[in-house]
Structures are given as structure tokens and as C-alpha cells.
Amino acid sequence: MAAVTLLEARGLTHRFGGLTAVRGVDFDLTQGECHALIGPNGAGKTTLVSLLSGRLPVQTGAIRFAGQDITRLPAHQRVRRGIAYTFQITSVYAGLSVAENAGLAIQSRGGAEAEVPAALARVGLEGMAEARAGTLSYGHQRLLELAMGLALHPRLLILDEPTQGLSAGEIGRFKDLVAGLTPEITVLLIEHNMEVVMDLARRITVLNFGEVLATGTPKAIRANRAVQSAYLGG
């Protein structure tokens, strides 16, 4: 099976005032893979995926998605084309019910209200449909975000530190869930938990000071000396 490139970023650079958060990044995603993006805090991971999802406007560089140039496309149109983003800092509609949250995601792609129970069941939130989203535990809010992302039926799902703040049991559940998404959905996973990364990712990109330090299979990354000294702590 020939590998098809789903997303292709070239020469992405992003500055916040004088600070260059992302510097000349080339980045490819293969259709159907789970790709992990790792790197120390402040390496520019969130900034990079924000450029891909359209949350931040591209200053320099170009992005192609599914064969088309999306560099200038606003975020909501990228979502329509199949790029879903779950926030690093959980962002649900706190004042609305869990069902409404999922319903808004489904409605966005023209789906029917009847799909809500299935969307919630997919992440194990079926019992909480009527609860206000803001009253859920942190872990459940993260699951709700995931449910909303999936309810968009994305081609690419970007998860920004999804296991941060989850209990060990919740992390296990989450891993199973994400493992079942590929190859239908391409997953880009920002993750600090190395065990999660090594279990899920087929390829890993390491970011450091806004630059790509290395890209490769988990095995190759583990063996990479530059990565070891910069990030994995020798």
C-alpha cells in the first residue's frame, strides 16, 4: 500500500513579537497514521498545531491538506475540510449540557440530533447526557472534547496533550480509544506521557526550540542521540 500524504507543511515560521516559537518547520502526515509530536515545554508544539488547525494565521510558510493549499483558509473552513482540534486547555461549552455539546459538533457537519447518544457512548459518557458540561470532572471534560472532535467525523484529529491530568485508569481507556481510530482517522498526538506515545505512535516528530530535531519511528527516535540529550534525558 502506497503511503498517501494527508498533510504537508513547508517552511512554517511563527513569531510572537520577538520570540520565534516555530522556526522553519517542514512537517508531513501520512494518511491513516498516528503521529506523535513531542518536545519539552515551550518547544512550540501547540503553536505548530495551531498553525495547522488555523487557530493562528500563518505568517510564513505553506500548508497543504488532502492535496489542496489551505494556508490562507480560516479555521472554521479547515474544520469543515476535516481538521479537528482538541484544546490543550479543555474548552467545552461549560454552561450547556453534555448532549448539547455533542449536538453542536454533530450539527456543524449537518448531522442529525439522533446521533448524539452514539457520539457520547463512543467515549463512555452516555450516562451523563443531561449534566452541565462545566460540572463534569476534568477527565470527563477531556473525554467530552474528544467526543466532540470525533463527532465532526474528521479526517485528521489533532489532540493537544489529551492525557494531561487524567488518572491512570482514564489514560488506559483513552489509549484503547485512540488506538481504534486509525487508519480511518489520521491522528496527530501531542503527548508528554512516553508510554502513551510509544504505544500509539507509528511515527514521532521531536520539536525543540521551535525546530524539528528528528522524525522517525519510535525505535529510531529512542536511538537518536540528539533526541536523547535534548529531551529524553540521556
Ligand X SMILES: Nc1ncnc2c1ncn2[C@@H]1O[C@H](COP(=O)(O)OP(=O)(O)O)[C@@H](O)[C@H]1O
SS3 55: coil
185, 224, 227 from 218: Cα distances, Å:
20, 10, 11
21 interacts with ligand X by CB under 6 A:
yes
Residues 137 and 139: their CA atoms lie apart, in Å, by 5
* Tally: H helices and E strands in the chain: 9, 10
Amino acid identity for residue 50 in this structure: S
Q: Which range, of 39-47, 70-78, 181-189, 212-220, touches ligand X by CB under 6 A?
A: 39-47
Compute the Cα dihedral for 52, 54, 55, 59 and give only its sign.
positive
53 interacts with Mg ion by CB under 5 A:
no
54 interacts with ligand X by CB under 6 A:
no
Q: Which does 182 bind (CB under 5 to 8 A by kind): ligand X, another protein, Mg ion, none?
A: none
CB of 153 to another protein, least distance (A): 11
Q: Are 200 and 175 in contact (CB under 8 A)?
A: yes
Residues 122 and 102: their CA atoms lie apart, in Å, by 11
CB of 178 to another protein, least distance (A): 19
Q: Which does 41 bind (CB under 5 to 8 A by kind): ligand X, Mg ion, another protein, none?
A: ligand X
57 interacts with ligand X by CB under 6 A:
no
Pick 185 or 221: Cβ nearer another protein: 185
197 interacts with ligand X by CB under 6 A:
no
Residues 13 and 59: their CA atoms lie apart, in Å, by 7
Q: Which range, of 38-46, 72-80, 105-113, 126-134, touches ligand X by CB under 6 A?
A: 38-46
Residues 130 and 109: their CA atoms lie apart, in Å, by 22
In the shown chain, the binding pattern of residues 117 to 156 toward another protein, with x for contact by CB under 8 A and - for none, equals -------------------------------x---x----
Residues 165 and 188: their CA atoms lie apart, in Å, by 19
Q: Which three cell numbers stand for residue 151?
A: 463527532
Q: Which three cell numbers stand for residue 54?
A: 488555523
Pick 23 or 153: Cβ nearer another protein: 153
Q: Which residues bind Mg ion (CB under 5 A)?
A: 45-46, 88
Q: Which residues bind another protein (CB under 8 A)?
A: 53, 55, 74-77, 79-80, 84-85, 87, 91-96, 100, 103-105, 107-109, 148, 152
Q: Which residues bind ligand X (CB under 6 A)?
A: 16, 19, 21, 39, 41-47
